[in-house]
Amino acid sequence: MTEMRTLKVALLGCGNVGAQVARILIEDADALAARAGARLQLSGIAVRNVNAPRDVDLPQDLFTTDAETLVKDADLVIELMGGIEPARTLILSALQNGACVVTGNKALLAQDGPTLYEEADRAGVQLSYEAAVAGAIPILRPIRDSLSGDRITRVLGIVNGTTNFILDQMDTTGAQFADALAEAQRLGYAEADPTADVEGHDAAAKAAILASLSFHTRFALENVHCEGISNVSAADIAAAKDAGFVIKLLAIAEKLTDVDGKEGVSVRVHPTLLPREHPLAAVRGAFNAVFIEAENAGELMFYGQGAGGTPTASAVMGDLVSAARRLVLGGPQRTETTTGHVPALPIEAATTSYYIGLDVADQPGVLARIAQLFAEHGVSIEIMRQTIHRDAESNVESAELRIVTHRASEAALAATVQAVKGLDVINSVTSVLRVEGV
């Protein structure tokens, strides 16, 4: 065997994922060298506190607080610190030095991706971030490479395990949101401050990344319409279940033509009704999955663990070995293509189907009046179902009306709901939720 090159790997951050990456680099050194064609030598781990306790037992002399010096001497830099600074400055410094960078920092990519991608292009090095979306699931490379000869038309992703766990609990046990959240926190699926997960911010960052790669256009966080699940009630879940649906928090990126005939991409995160037979409906617990529709490939789904130190470390290591192989082979690293230039459509321009639950008076002609009102607003009804309840004590009858619409614009739907609320026969609008997969 000929003498192998050694590539220096700097690791920034040693949390949940970082500690596992360090372990794999040390434990699997021989197998990794065989696959990369070079020895991957962990040259140091930059942390805030060198004496903090770690998930994995690692040689103490690897730790340093001097990230800048570590980065300057590395061929490959793995950034797993999270947050915007100093991650951003360190990544830029690594790229400028000609090092390839692997990161899982979705927040930074969604906020300031273009600056980083441009710097990588300029330096002819690779910036890879498979770990930033859907943890262990290989999804970014298939979109970027395997589907590079196809046209993706739509991406629907369950990309946040915390909210999927909570919604799955609510669906299975009938629990209210607050109780399911408490259970998720007890089991370690949700953080003490669950805002980033339950309000959809984490999923929104991933939606921006998925949309950018799928449509060859750079979308930022500000292009993503975001609604979380804290307003989803047990009653919503029960009604959806009764109608053959399950509620999932989806990250959606789809090509649409808006009301003025302008083509664009709608990128959004919101609770969504899915038919129970849809492949994404079967994704349980904290698992993730991404469903892709492409013109030629048809429907594809990618399923696996979306979080956790060891699974996410697998994605980091895949990026690292791939970048190292290219360094060994020579020639520039591959960079992203952003030749699509499709505009991001505001949420008002997006069209989806809707589910609307109404508590109505049980009087003759109510259905006709409501149907008429939908028609006047240009919202076409696909399914309308009325259920009558009689209160045993008061003997008062009430009726529940469930409507699933065909695709309608956000604006038309909002106007319709507003008008419906004004009808004297309406007691209340119990839920308004978007529907996909029908």
| Nearer of residues 145 and 348 to a copy of itself, judged by Cβ | 145
Nearest Cα neighbor of 113 from 95, 97, 98, 137 is: 95
Residue 128 Cβ vs a copy of itself, minimum distance, rounded to whole Å: 10
Under DSSP, is residue 281 helix (H, G, I), strand (E, B) or coil?
Answer: helix
Q: State yes or no: 51 annotated in a binding site.
A: no
Residue 46 Cβ vs a copy of itself, minimum distance, rounded to whole Å: 20
DSSP states along 254-279: EEEE-TTS-EEEEEEEEEEEEETTSG
Q: State yes or no: 104 annotated in a binding site.
A: no
Residue with tokens 């959240």: 181
Strands 397-405 and 351-361: antiparallel
Distance of alpha carbon 104 from alpha carbon 102, whole angstroms = 7
206 is catalytic: yes
Q: State yes or no: 15 annotated in a binding site.
A: yes
**Which DSSP symbol is given to 97?**
T
Q: State yes or no: 226 annotated in a binding site.
A: no
Q: State yes or no: 16 annotated in a binding site.
A: yes
**Residue 49: how many other CB atoms lie within 10 Å:** 9
* Six-digit token string for 196: 């980033």
Residue 198 Cβ vs a copy of itself, minimum distance, rounded to whole Å: 24
Strands 100-103 and 76-79: parallel
169, 209 Cβ separation under 8 angstroms: no
Q: How far is CA 136 from CA 144, 245, 425, 435, in A?
A: 17, 28, 51, 28
Question: Residues with Cβ < 8 Å from 410, sequence gap 6 or more?
Answer: 347, 348, 349, 350, 351, 352
Q: State yes or no: 17 annotated in a binding site.
A: yes
Residue 37 Cβ vs a copy of itself, minimum distance, rounded to whole Å: 8
**Which DSSP symbol is given to 61?**
G
Residue 260 Cβ vs a copy of itself, minimum distance, rounded to whole Å: 24
End-to-end CA distance of the chain: 58
Residue 11 Cβ vs a copy of itself, minimum distance, rounded to whole Å: 13
Q: State yes or no: 19 annotated in a binding site.
A: yes
| Nearer of residues 161 and 228 to a copy of itself, judged by Cβ | 161
Helix or strand holding residue 354 (H, E) = strand 351-361
How big is the chain by its Cα radius of gyration, in Å?
Answer: 25
Burial class (CB in 10 A: 0-12, 13-18, 19+), 258: middle
| Nearer of residues 234 and 302 to a copy of itself, judged by Cβ | 302
Q: Which residues bind a copy of itself (CB under 8 A)?
A: 20, 24, 28, 31-32, 34-37, 130, 136-138, 141-142, 145-151, 216, 279, 282, 294, 296-305, 308, 310-311, 313-322, 325-326, 329-332, 334, 337, 339-340
Residue with tokens 């410094």: 93
Q: State yes or no: 187 annotated in a binding site.
A: no
Choosing from 8, 72, 206, 241, the catalytic residue is 206
* Six-digit token string for 168: 């799955």
Distance of alpha carbon 179 from alpha carbon 184, whole angstroms = 9
298, 162 Cβ separation under 8 angstroms: no
212, 219 Cβ separation under 8 angstroms: yes
Name the amino acid, one letter, at 8.
K
| Nearer of residues 275 and 308 to a copy of itself, judged by Cβ | 308
Q: State yes or no: 164 annotated in a binding site.
A: no
Residue 97 Cβ vs a copy of itself, minimum distance, rounded to whole Å: 20
| Nearer of residues 53 and 298 to a copy of itself, judged by Cβ | 298
| Nearer of residues 334 and 385 to a copy of itself, judged by Cβ | 334
| Nearer of residues 261 and 298 to a copy of itself, judged by Cβ | 298
Sequence ranges of the binding site for NADP(+): 12-19
Sequence ranges of the binding site: 12-19, 106, 191
Residue numbers annotated as active site: 206
Sequence ranges of the binding site for NADPH: 106
